[in-house]
Amino acid sequence: MTGWLAGKRALIVGAGSGIGRATIDAFLNEDAQVAVLEYDSDKCAALRQQLPDIPVIEGDATTRTANDEAVQVAVDAFGGLDTLVNCVGIFDFYRRIQDIPAERIDQAFDEMFRINVLSHIHSVKAAVPALRGQDGASIILTESASSFYPGRGGLLYVASKFAVRGLVTALAHELAPRIRVNGVAPGGTLNTDLRGLDSLDLGSRRLDAAPDRARELAARTPLNVALSGHDHAWSYVFLASHRSRGLTGETIRPDGGFSLGPAPQRN
C-alpha cells in the first residue's frame, strides 16, 4: 500500500468481475473510498458479502436512472466524488460482417453500442456535476486494444471501442480544465467474464473460457505475458492519482507490447 489514492472518492461502474472487480481491490489498497454500480444481482450479492463496507448499487448502467442513483449514493456516503471509472463491456466473439445475419444487424448494433458506449455516456453525464466541484477530479473509461487495431474483436466490438476512444478525446477537450478524462486500453485479459451479445446468441459464452487461453495470450506479445484484471487495475490507479495530473485525453495501453508485433521466437 502506497496511499496513492488517499482521500479519493470513486464510483466504479461495472465492477462485479474481471477488470472492474480488480480495480475495486486496487483502489481500496491505495486508500480510496469506493462505491459500485453493477447490473448482475449475483455479483452484487457477492460484493456485499466480500466487501460489506462499500456501497453497492444494483442497476443497469445503460440507463440514466441507475447512474444518477449511483452517483447520489456515492456523494451521500463520501461527501463528494473525485473519480469515475467505467468498466462496462460486452463482446462479439470476432463476428465479421458476413457472420451477422442481415435481419439481426440492427438488434446487434443497438445492444453493442448501448452497453459499450451509451453506458459510458450516461455514467459521465451523471457524474460530471459532482466531479466539477473537486480538485483533481478524473474520469477513466475502458477502451481496448481493439480501440487501435482490427482483429482483436469483430466488426461491432471494434467499432464500439473506437467510439469509446473518441469519447475520451471529446470529453477531455470539453471538460478541461476541471476534470481530466483518460482511457485504459487493455490487451487480452485472463478471468474477465466478458460475455457475448444476446442478440447473436452469445450471451452465455465467456471470452476467458477458451482452453489454453493463458498460453495463447502470452504468445501474442513481445513481453510474453498473459495479463489479468489485477495487472490492468494499476493503470486505473495511476490515472486516478495526482501523479497523472498532467495527463488528459490519453490512453494507457497495458497490452504486453501488442503494438510492436508478435512475440519473437525464443530458443
pLDDT digits (tens, 9 = 90+) for 24-65: 999 999 999 999 999 999 999 999 999 999 999 999 999 999
Where b means 16+ CB within 10 Å and e means fewer, 92-108 reads bbebeeeebeeeeeeeb
Rounded Cα distance, 2 and 137, in Å: 20
Q: What is the pTM of this model?
A: 0.91
Give the per-residue pLDDT at 221. Answer: 73
Helix intervals (H) in the chain:
18-29, 41-50, 64-78, 105-113, 119-132, 155-175, 213-219, 229-240
Q: Rg for the chain (alpha carbons), in Å?
A: 18
Give the per-residue pLDDT at 83. Answer: 98
| Least confident interval from 13-22, 170-179, 216-225 | 216-225
pLDDT tens by residue, 114-166: 999 999 999 999 999 999 988 999 999 999 887 887 777 899 999 999 999 99
Give the per-residue pLDDT at 148. Answer: 80
CB 11 within 8 A of CB 125: no
CATH architecture under which domain 9-260 falls: 3-Layer(aba) Sandwich (3.40)
Q: Domain residue spans in the chain?
A: 9-260
Rounded Cα distance, 91 and 101, in Å: 17
**Lookup: cell for 131:** 466531479
Give the per-residue pLDDT at 188. Answer: 67
Give the per-residue pLDDT at 46. Answer: 97
Where b means 16+ CB within 10 Å and e means fewer, 112-137 reads bbbbbbbbbbbbbebbbebbeebebb
Q: Is residue 157 among the annotated active site residues?
A: yes
Give the per-residue pLDDT at 263. Answer: 60
Q: CB under 8 Å to 146, separation ≥6 — which residues? A: 152, 153, 157, 158, 161, 162
Q: Helices 155-175 & 105-113, crossing angle to 10 degrees?
A: 40
Check 39, 94, 149, 157 and give the catalytic one: 157
Rounded Cα distance, 95 and 98, in Å: 8
CB 179 within 8 A of CB 128: yes
Look at phi and psi of residue 164 and say left if phi exceeds 0, alpha if psi is from -120 to 50, else beta.
Answer: alpha
**Lookup: cell for 28:** 481500496
pLDDT tens by residue, 206-257: 665 566 766 776 667 777 776 777 888 999 999 999 999 999 999 998 776 6
**Lookup: cell for 191:** 478471468
